[in-house]
Amino acid sequence: MTGSTRSSDGLDVRRRRLLFRSWHRGTREADLIMGRFADVHIAGFSDAELDQYERLLDALEADLLGWMTGVVEVPVEHDTAMFRRVRDFHFAAGR
């Protein structure tokens, strides 16, 4: 069980793959960060946004958690509009 609230029905192959990866990061915390965000937003991403999201999924779980919590400074290559969207999604909603 992934925790996903979104079905992959109706998504193209790339979005299905990214949704799956979002919920299978390796740690439950990273799954919740990326998976919840993907459940809400993956269907509406442009190709450029999918590229940014995919690069963010390539980051190590420990790094991602450090960046999200502010314990570690976000490196320039990951300090993107997509990273800020993911971070803001969780903090604005108190997730």
User: Which value, to the nearest 10 degrees, does the dihedral of the CA atoms of residues 57, 18, 3, 34 take?
Assistant: 30
Residue 16 lies in a domain: no
Task: Compute the distance between CA of residue 51 and CA of residue 70 in angstroms, rounded to an integer.
Answer: 24
Which residues constitute the domain of residue 71?
Answer: 26-93
Q: What is the pLDDT of residue 89?
A: 93
Residue 8 lies in a domain: no
Residue 6 lies in a domain: no
Residue 4 lies in a domain: no
Q: What is the pLDDT of residue 1?
A: 43
Q: What is the pLDDT of residue 90?
A: 84
Query: Within 10 A of 7 (CB to CB), how many other CB atoms are there?
Result: 9
Per-residue pLDDT of the chain (95 residues; tens, 9 = 90+): 457 666 777 788 999 999 999 999 988 999 999 999 999 999 999 999 999 999 999 999 999 999 999 999 999 999 999 999 999 998 876 55
Residue 37 lies in a domain: yes
Residue 68 lies in a domain: yes
Residue 21 lies in a domain: no
Task: Compute the distance between CA of residue 79 and CA of residue 75 in angstroms, rounded to an integer.
Answer: 6
Residue 17 lies in a domain: no
- If one counts the domains in the chain, the total is 1
Q: What is the pLDDT of residue 11?
A: 86
Q: Model's pTM, two decimal places? A: 0.87
Q: What is the pLDDT of residue 92?
A: 78
Helices (H), 1-95: 13-23, 28-41, 47-57, 61-69, 81-93
Query: Within 10 A of 46 (CB to CB), how many other CB atoms are there?
Result: 8
